[in-house]
Structure 1
Amino acid sequence: MTQEKPTHPDQTEENGSQEAAAGTDTAEATPPEGALQEQLEQALAEAAEHRDNYLRAKAETENVRKRAADDLIKARKFAVEQFAAELLVVRDSLELASQVNLDQESDQAMQKMHEGVLLTLKQLDSAFEKSDIAVLDPVGEKFNPELHQAMSMVETAEVEPNHVVSVMQKGYVLNERLLRPAMVVVAKAPAQAPAEGGEA
């Protein structure tokens, strides 16, 4: 024989309240499916944003590395630019000295000094060549304002108009970068004589 415990009406209400509260807790602990979908979309958007930021930072780092490498190459390439520009005046002086004509009666010391100047000029030109310094001596070439500086213009029929007649001072380029423009005289077409019998 089993005895059943008498149930009290108040006790039954409490049990029902507890079960209802437990059901509410369970409902609150598990968010609805729409909220989960929203959280997933937000997490995916954040992940995409982080990936995008990572890729941008990686690209920027690569660009900085490339710029630094380019700057290093340029620095090496043009490190001698200022020094070379200073040497151009020395080369000009040696070239002028080499153009002095010595006659047969010149004493031997002068001739030896002249030979020394020629040898020094040759060595300097060799050093320029090894350093990729090229001479601009544009006689007969078309005038190029990027490489030449027009000092004057002369009328002549012997050279085409807008071409270099003579060079007053040679120019130089270092690795295709202008160190000093060539100072030149440029040809222009001769003025045409006024036709006879024309209006006065």
Structure 2
Amino acid sequence: MGRGDLSDGQWAVLEPMLPVAVLGRPPLGRRRLIDGIRWRVRTGAPWRDLPSEYGPWQTVYGLFRRWQRDGTWPALLTRLQARTDEAGLITWEVNVDSTICRAHQHAAGARRDGQAQKEPPGGTRTEPEDHALGRSRGGFTTKIHLACEQRQRPLSLLVTAGQRGDSPQFTAVLEGIRVPRTGPGRPRVRPLRVRG
């Protein structure tokens, strides 16, 4: 197990939540592929620079995109949040903040029409018209707005163009909090306290 890879305990929680693969060849080892995806997201390196211990980069990227298009990633997050809330591990005192990320120079060449790209964005959410890229003092940037609870577990995430203000997005980030209950009942959407 490499630094940052899933522990046996984490894998025991995650594995039953994964979609069942029925068709095609047997999977290469989902744990290894998911660790590869996590490595790439954590480091920000190109897919082609993925260490060989995680398998062929094309296979890892293929799983990432397939699950992105069919909504598996948000569904996994929702299931994990529901499980965590059921165990009483979510502190409903929420912090909301944002940060700016500098966009790569190649982002400036993105097509205006996402569906005309070589590989359309896909996923369960629609791509913003501006691809969440905008101009600010720092140049070409994206802004990430996040609501998380006291133990640093994410509850809601919103990505906007870099020049967007924090205050107008505050309500949208709070409205994105939706933790379902494992039993009957409506999802939990209201924190006890909010810090911005």
More helix by share: 1
When normalised by structure 1's length, the TM-score is: 0.23
RCO comparison, higher one (Cα < 8 Å, 6+): 2
Question: Which structure would you say has the larger Rg?
Answer: 1
When normalised by structure 2's length, the TM-score is: 0.23
